[in-house]
Amino acid sequence: MKMIQFNVPAPKDKSVYVQEDRLTDFYPYFHKHEEYQFMWIVKGEGTLFLADSFHPFQTGDIFLLGPNQPHVFKKNANTVDQMEVECVSIFFNLKGSLSSLFHMPELAGILEFIVHNSNGFRVPHAYTSRIRRRIALLKKANMMDQLMSFIFLLKELSLVSTELKPLSVTTVFNKDDGFLRINEVCRYIKDNFRRNVTLEEAADHANLTPQAFCRYFKKHTGLTFVSYLNELRIQEACKLITSQRYESMGLVAYNSGFNSITNFNRVFRSVTGFSPKEYFSRYKNNV
């Protein structure tokens, strides 16, 4: 899929932009934009495609997409063409007018929550009704009330931050965010995930003990070392499968860093929700 840079048509007099859509289909192009985006699927079902993964969705699901995170929402092919999709999007940019607000000491915790979730997440189903109410209030509010509703929305989500799983393992850190060490560690793991890179080796690269490294890594990525390593390997496997650059699943597993086809199948299903063959079949049907 070819990716395009999208410019969100946000009004200049708003720091938080709410957009409601009722259409026959979602925006059809694989794209990215500088803004964070909350996406509430009011009506519709299909698959969210990212640069390195995909996630089935249904009516009621809510996602946060990070800045410049390539994505596209695709309606299921078997959905009746005339059936409308309906969604509410909330766009905001930490580099815009919100920058000075979120650097206030009182909002430091919320800023940290947003930055640490720049890989996006799906709101757990146990909390979607609460978050939908927050979005509904934000959508109806104006000016100062809308900004306050937005802060309360982020606060509500930050309270369950430990239960949020990143949508993607492709992470971009920058100097302004102060994540130089974790950026280097992630780059090291990405360069070596095809071999048997160990926790002790990664910790040594970061000049930390294994115990301290585990705490540090989980804090800055939201994942354990093993989960991050497995998702990198499954990301590579997905690329090989969808590009059909393989002769057998055994070779896909080996070239992705797995020494056991049984372990590969188990981890693949735990990360994607599908077996490798099911993944390829679903990919062909949706793209």
Ordered structural domains, the chain, with CATH: 4-163 (2.60.120.280), 171-287 (1.10.10.60)
Average pLDDT over residues 22-26: 90
Could you tell me which residue, 89 or 79, shows the higher pLDDT? 89
Output the average pLDDT for the chain: 85
DSSP label at residue 200: H
Q: What is the structure's pLDDT at 216?
A: 85
Q: What is the structure's pLDDT at 112?
A: 86
Name the residue among 118, 124, 111, 122 with its Cα closest to residue 151. Answer: 111
Burial of 155 from C-beta contacts in 10 A (0-12 / 13-18 / 19+): middle
Q: What is the structure's pLDDT at 6?
A: 87
Could you tell me which residue, 2 or 287, shows the higher pLDDT? 2
